[in-house]
Amino acid sequence: MATTSGRRIVLTGVTRGLGRALAEQFIELGHTVLGCGRSPVELDHLRRRFGSPHDFAAIDVARRDQVQAWADRLLTEHGAPDLLLNNAAIITANAPLWQVPPDEFDLLIDINIKGVANVLRSFVPVMIARNRGVIVNFSSGWGRSSSPEVAPYCASKYAIEGLTLALAQELPDGMAAIPLNPGIIDTEMLRSCFGDEAGLYPSAAEWAKRAAHFILKRGRGDNGQSLSVP
């Protein structure tokens, strides 16, 4: 996929971290971002900064009804996405698995796994109907290896790897589904795990300059490949 022609990009989790940095970079490159997040204040800032044709909505991806209504509106107003990026995710505070409060574990699973499934369920059929589009589900280094005190997050990202690789086998030849490890980036989420050591890694804005181009170059030949941003 070329980076020079405008693409319609559906992106979850645009209000902070990697999603926010990617949204800004995609827009700078001339693409249309149709994003969602949970912070009304940050969404309003994005709307005022970028305006039409970009679209930013307050959506909880764990709520299937909200995701479906959002998708129905975007598909009617903009058409099927060229790129569908499932980025929205949360992490629990560092703790041994048995000490993670059940409600926090459940919320993580609802957002990190069920949220991805909700978005796929709402957008993929229309993408299949035109036999075009690339789906990128954000995985993690902790979706291919593990560390102590982040077991719920590891579980969710291992699930995304398996879900995406199976989805890739179900798509028509003209499409691709890719589990993507973004790498280690200095974000609020990483600081909750690494503390000040997160500052040793690139900022989200620095990362997005590389990642946006890498993602935009993905195509059907990448289907079913577990990739990492270089």
* Residues taking part in catalysis: 153
> Cα separations (Å) of 109 from 17, 77, 82, 105, 175?
19, 31, 27, 6, 27
Kindly state the DSSP code that residue 174 receives in the 8-state scheme. T
Strands 8-12 and 176-181: unpaired
User: DSSP readout, 74-98?
Assistant: HHHHT-S-SEEEE-----PPS--GG
Answer for the pair 207, 188: CB distance below 8 angstroms, yes or no. no
Q: Which of 77, 38, 87, 76 is nearest to 54 (CA)?
A: 77
Hey, what amino acid is at 42? E
